[in-house]
Structure 1
């Protein structure tokens, strides 16, 4: 069993950004074989027309209720997606959002559903708006990105077991994993055909600009979470003169799209694990995991070894050491959640009563699409389609290179390194139709980032901030969870709302401190697998 190095005596308040890889190549070679797909979202629909809202009210989002049958005009040659059999146009939803731009009431805001619905009602306990509101209204526009939901949903015809994609490296099963990756690529190509290569972030950015044109607006404002931050960044690069107020919450580093972002899950888990050992050690009398970080570390890895030798049983389920590592990767970003996981596993291993209800889903598991009109594997199919199509140059065509990377990264990042670096369907995907987008511009935007984010670690947000040279970054120190706004944190929420309602970025980068309440909300959202403010689950675990 590998012993992890002892963690530092104190966890840093502001982690130093990890080394960033060189920018992806901007040229792409000819085609090779394929794989499977990405972002999940419920179908968009239309709510009643926006109505005036009471003065002083906060943003009020409504879930859509009926599909829009309209067919938008063809885009100009500068923004038209590359030719292919035309898919159904993205469906949209409108809803009243009271805070309007003081200089122009009624300005629309485009809001892609990537991968969460954007026209939803905030939680009932949401606090009042921090801002007085002028007359007028804003329209929130949500849409299913191409390939997702009801916007020509892609499918690979995958069985549930084929959707389990985060696979730990084992010498005995690696050849099977390679065969799985090859089969997923082949099935996606066969099922979705010629449409497949046109499902890319760049084309979705063109679709966004088409929506802007249909609305008759010169500029569009935008709020994107997770993958939506990359889409927003790509839009600013392709259409810099048409971007107004852009909020990018829990940000993707464009230079690491996409293999590098998945690998960052492993890199980011290590400092989070060290922070967790310190937290649990300081509460050893309550949790009994060890009174020093080193002892807490040993307790965890002893559990992993025990589960490798004999799976731990709980509520009729068996958990291997790989299951334990995979679950801990996401849980450890919340010190309380990580502690609860280890406590329950420790009790079960000792034959004591324990509950699997406190455990997260094993790494790589998925949920089927909620909409009956959408293929059940659309979330996974859409994921791979974007991840592989956006930048095929990031993915080696040599399966043995994945074996080497998985072995090396399991040593460097023992919690999750082999999961992140082992073979994926993109190794057998067709070459990208366009070069990867290099983001480097002066467009103004607000990057919003928690310090302890399991999917897009803090250095990822810092990297996007560096690429968007006109941006400011709002960092929540001690903030846990993937997705910041709205969290009930007056500093963070106020900073976002100030920018959206006035259009003025802060004069310098902003640092907020997390509160017990905002981190508590993040834990509850993670248990339901939602982003802030969303009352329904919208994405599978282990997605951007």
Structure 2
């Protein structure tokens, strides 16, 4: 799941600085109505022509984190939605939305809602970060609409008071000897804290999808177009299943298989990391004269695994700080930087710096690299520091029920650790979801029922949302969708080096016509 885009100013500026890439690397990652099946059908049958007149009053946007991009043309507003859709006249919450208006009102087609994934990433600034990557025809034709999903940042932010405030900090890497005892205790403690957080159980993907339909109404639109990345593909698939007649053109990029939410999605990381890692190892091998990590992919891989194991057993203190580099930190940095091909040379430098640190021969250049690894993303004013971690857990634990068998987690983690050493047993390990209360409703069933208006974009070697996951979504959606696969690594498809994929994306947004058959793009060189 996701994900931020990059270090520095690379590519399309989807991403943030290096620290943000690390702080928000999550799943590159149905849903519910505590209502009955009849209520689901009511959601489906609601006529599109009941869209209300535009009710949004656009104004200044709320304060962003220091250094965060903000397009000067962006305006913001809030939409009031029910906390619990089973009690629509009960308590309400606010959803923050943003707009970058269509450049040419005469050419305007409609609205394009954007979601960057996560789960639990803010999307308020996404119109501004996406706009530079889009052709004028798309900017003329659409109001670009961003939003913070319910519970996230400016949309009634939630907090469990977690001490581990970052999403990667929750990645449950076992101890050096494979024990998961510490993971079990942390999972139990955090589940108890979140269970005591009033109303958190209503912050689910299904209710977020229902919020989007309230946003559609407030925008005065009968239909919406949508572009979701990573977890945003699941949100889009759920919306299109609850409201199939209210979608216009939907793009899903870096995809979640809705039949695997969520433990199955996470367990897939072991195999997908094994498929993606050689891209980075090849970059490091090409610089063996200066890095000394190995002259082949296999040699670099062995060096990396030995280093991670060594740091598991003997974390290396970082001079001048109170921090240490351990195996989990190395693996988290690797996961984050693999999201974008432009970061692979930087990742090789991180490996070298970590190796030098472990050997006690850190250079000034190594210190600069590691300073970025340990830098913290700046907080957003008025938002709890554990907001993203809280909402990550609320969604991954609250969308679908998890196994509560602690012994089974230990066994599967050990098996995973042996089969997929790059991820060291983490993907199959225990999460707080094992101690979470039962979800308020069953997951929304994503099906092939509805108009053919969905374009799926998927890289072959995406470690956050795998090729198999994208194929799973393709199969579930059937004739509703067309599939554009790219022979590329990384989590981003559009504006990531394939003119073939970019052309298919823009053609669909411009015309509404899907490719007549699935497309496989081979115009990207292997990194």
Instruction: Please indicate, yes or no, whether the TM-score normalized by the shorter chain is above 0.5.
Output: yes
| Pairing of 1:162-177 with structure 2 (within 5 A) | 164-170=169-175, 174-177=180-183
Unaligned runs of 5+ in 1: 1-23, 29-43, 50-59, 520-544
Structure 2 residue corresponding to 1:140, chosen from 118, 140, 144: 144
Whole-angstrom CA distance in 1 between matches of 2:106 and 2:516: 19
1:110 paired with 2:113, answer yes
Q: What's 1:409 paired with?
A: 416
Q: Is the 8 A contact 1:329 1:416 kept in 2?
A: no
Q: CA deviation at 1:286?
A: 4.9
Q: CA deviation at 1:259?
A: 1.4
> Following TM superposition, by how much is the alpha carbon of 1:196 offset from its aligned partner in structure 2, in angstroms?
1.6
1:93 and 2:90 are equivalent in the alignment:
no
Q: Does 1:372 align with 2:381?
A: yes
1:440 to 435, 438, 447: 447
Pairwise CA distance, 1:197: 1.6
Q: Show CA shifts across 1:103-157 (max 9, x none).
A: xx45233345752335532489x46727598xx7532332222222232222101
Aligned mates of 1:132, 1:111 — CA distance in 2: 13
Q: 1:312 to 1:450 in 2, by over 3 A?
A: same
Q: Measure the CA separation in 2 of the matches of 1:499 and 1:268.
A: 29
Contact 1:331 1:341 in 2 (8 A): no
TM-score by length of 2: 0.75
* Unaligned residue ranges in structure 2 (runs of 5+): 1-29, 35-55, 62-69
SS for the counterpart of 2:460 is strand
**Among 191, 209, 215, which residue is 1:211 paired with?**
215
| 2:242 matches 1:238 | yes
Counterpart of 1:83 in structure 2 is 87
Measure, in 1, the Cα distance between the counterparts of 2:464 and 2:414: 22
> Partners in 1 of 2:251 and 2:499 — Cα distance?
17
What's 1:355 paired with? 366
Contact 1:326 1:416 in 2 (8 A): no
| 1:467 CA drift (Å) | 1.6
CA shift in 2, pair 1:266/1:45, >3 Å? farther
Contact between 2:276 and 2:489, CA under 8 Å: does it hold in 1? no
Per the alignment, do residues 331 and 45 of structure 1 end up closer, same or farther by CA in structure 2, a change over 3 Å counting? farther
- Whether the 8 Å CA contact 1:253–1:464 is kept in 2: the answer is yes
Contact 1:145–1:204 (CA<8 Å) still a contact in 2? yes
Residue aligned with 1:121, SS: helix
Describe the superposition over 1:208-240 as per-residue Cα deviations: whole angstroms up to 9, x where unpaired.
112222333322111111111100001111111
1:358-507 equivalences in 2 (<5 Å):
358=369, 370-392=379-401, 395-442=402-449, 443-469=452-478, 470-480=480-490, 482-487=491-496, 489-507=498-516
Cα pair 1:162 1:180 within 8 Å, conserved:
no
For 1:166 and 1:326, how far apart are their aligned partners in 2? 8
1:331–1:360 CA contact under 8 A, matched in 2: no
Listed one character per residue, the Cα deviations across residues 395-450 of structure 1 (whole Å, up to 9, x for unaligned) are: 11122221111111111111114222221111111111111223221542111123
Report the equivalent of 1:320: 326
- Contact 2:458-2:470 within 8 A present in 1 as well: yes
Contact 1:452 1:478 (C-alpha < 8 Å) held by counterparts: yes
- Give 1:10's aligned residue: none
Which shows bigger deviation, 277-286 or 337-346? 277-286
Please give the per-residue CA displacement for 1:61-95, whole angstroms capped at 9, x wherever unaligned: 65645544x647x89xxxx8222752323232222
Higher helix proportion, which one? 2
SS for the counterpart of 2:521 is strand
Q: Which residue does the alignment assign to 2:17?
A: none
2:260 equivalent in structure 1: 256
Query: Does the CA contact (< 8 Å) of 1:479 and 1:513 recur in 2?
Result: no
Distance 1:320 1:142, change over 3 A: closer
Aligned equivalents of 2:277, 2:219: Cα separation in 1: 47
Q: CA RMSD in A?
A: 3.8
